[in-house]
A and B are shown apart, each in its own frame.
Chain A
Amino acid sequence: MSSILRQTFVMTRANIFSLPRRLSISLSMVLSVALVVCVLAGFLAMAKGFETALQSAGSPSVSVVLGGGTNQETGSDIPASVIRTLQAMTGDIGVKRVGDGALVLSREMVVTVEVKPVGTDAGRTLALRGMDAAGAAIRDHVSLSDGRLFAPGAREIVVGDRLGREFGLRTGDSVRLGTVDWRVVGTFSAQGSAFESEIWADLDTVGAAFDRQGQVQSLRMRLAEPAALAVLTRELAAITTTPLIAVSEADLYAAQSERTASLIRLFGWPLSLLMAIGATAGALNTMMNSVSDRTVEIATVRTLGFSRLSASAATWIEAVLLAAVGVLLGLALSWLAFNGWQASTIGGNNARMAFQLAVTGDVMLRAGLLGLAIGVVGGALPAIAATRLPLATALRSRG
């Protein structure tokens, strides 16, 4: 070990042993770093959880056809003539067919409904999706966890497991959606994806109940294979009554999740950075206090011949170590508090979408680095100050 390392090591050790003398101010630095880490980790975990919920909803083997020049379900409209034209096509249009040659297709429409969670007065906006009977089966990873699917023409709904849990909806319950009552006939699981935040019912029944008979927002079709999307797109181009696009379900949700997730991050980062600046000022204060607390000790070892570098390095290391403790604390807290925590936001169809916060390694890395940066930046000036102590003056005070 070189002399400079030995000097730094022994001074760092002395610094750490002297921490109890300035316990409260050191703790305040640790806590403020932990708070910043917690806040950033919370936002990033939210964005991550949102992405995960939407990404796992989308399948590359399912195509969503949208009409009317939009690339979202909201505002999209598919005229009945288009559906008839598609169904009349007998050649390969890239879509899977059942035994009798019919397309594996579900006509769909989303309306927003107000539902009151158990024990509250404020209703929340949820997505009620009307679909054909094939709709549930077209989707990947969807399975009934209880009861049965809605019957065509009946005022019956199935609800996503997540919604069911949150709103206390169980098979056999009756709920008022819009102006009429609906019976819950089953619940479904979608592996925690965005679908679990939806209520599904028969398309025509939804159309009738919400005075939108015959309307279709989108078509969901199972592709023969993911690459067949290009075939479908080509066939759609031949229909000129209205602009139509076919996107893969995966892309549709990815685009949606990207928008919202980056919005969450766009809000989370500046807030965390602002707090980090405050915490850096606090760290600076803590470390300046540490330097002045150790003035005589620093001057003493410098008089013995210790280098300036060792005095500043040891101070800096103390700052980074305190920040590291804050980072560990913040990460532990955010993991305990946020990981798996249920949250919800306004999702794709202007309806609530629930998801789980995900404190992943990536989230922890980013939040942790910001926390460490507080120590690195906040400790820099005090580290320089530690080298500037005039020895003769410092030694004048009683050791």
Chain B
Amino acid sequence: MTTANHLEPYIQLSGISKAYAIGGETVPIFSSLDLKIPSGDFVAIMGPSGSGKSTLLNMLAGIDRPDAGCLRIGSSRLDQMGEAARASWRAHCMGIVFQFYNLLPMLTVAENVELPLLLKSLSARDRRGRVEKVLELVGLADRARQYPVSMSGGQQQRVGIARAIVADPALLLCDEPTGDLDRKSADEVLAMLRMLNREFGKTIVMVTHDPQAALHANRTLHLDKGAFIEERRAA
């Protein structure tokens, strides 16, 4: 395990275990996983299919729970929180970007981006202002009234990113954000993530299969057989 020396660990996993019951048999994914990620870091997680990358990310997102171990993000002990508390934590502390964008097709781009803001006590006017700002940031200000189906994959993913950051969370989680995109769109999305990390100080954890995508991160962790190997550190 490595920790950036000058930073407190922001995400801390220790002794995490997780198993799934598949056909009556208990299949362990992790038995004792440790991980520390300092605030402001941009970590890429790679590994073979089925190694548990998504499972790990879902635990970090508070939509899945470890069977045992301690999972702390900031000052929150996610492993000890109930569903309602985790829902509120998700609303306030993290943004998530999905491989398949997961935009609601019957809502416009602006309405999709606005969703996380509905959970905050903001006036409609404030919400509109914030939506406009993030859409501008991802270069889609002129698409606000369109529906997702009319857009390319790369554009939809940028809407996904806008939705993830609109409530200004400190943590951004991405599960194969470029897995469904061509090279050019993927590079645009990755450049955007790096910008969010460098200029806005977002802590980003990104699961990816693409070594080129991983190059955009500060470091890459390789997950295999329930443990991490650090592969590369940015200079």
Contacts and interface: CB of A to CB of B under 8 A. Distances in A.
A395 B176 CA distance: 13
- In this complex, the interface size class of chain A, counting residues with CB under 8 Å from chain B, is 20 to 34
Given A395-B98, A399-B98, A399-B103, A304 B83 contact: no
A345 interface: no
B116 A305 contact: yes
A309 to B, nearest CB: 9
A18 B91 contact: no
B85 to A, nearest CB: 11
A14 B106 contact: yes
B91 A391 contact: no
Chain A binding surface, main DSSP class: helix
B92 A305 contact: yes
A391 B64 contact: yes
B100 interface: yes
B98 to A, nearest CB: 7
Interface in A290-307: 296-297, 300-307
Contacts of B4: none
Contacts of A398: 100
Interface in B143-165: 163
Given A14-B106, A17-B106, A297-B104, A307 B118 contact: no
B166 to A, nearest CB: 10
Residue from A14, A17, A395, A398 with most neighbouring chain B CB atoms (10 Å): A395
A219 to B, nearest CB: 74
A387 to B, nearest CB: 9
Nearest to B117: A6
A398 B55 CA distance: 16
A10 B104 CA distance: 11
Contacts of A399: 98, 100-103
B68 interface: no
B57 to A, nearest CB: 10
A150 to B, nearest CB: 73
Interface of A: 3, 6-7, 10, 13-14, 17-18, 296-297, 300-308, 391-392, 395-396, 398-399
5 contacts: A14-B104, A300-B102, A304-B116, A308-B87, A391-B63
Interface of B: 54-55, 58, 61, 63-64, 83-84, 87-92, 96, 98, 100-107, 111, 115-116, 118-121, 163
Given A10-B118, A14-B104, A301-B115, 20 more contacts: A3-B118, A3-B119, A3-B120, A7-B119, A10-B107, A10-B115, A17-B106, A17-B107, A300-B98, A300-B102, A302-B87, A303-B61, A304-B90, A304-B115, A304-B119, A305-B87, A307-B87, A391-B63, A392-B64, A396-B54
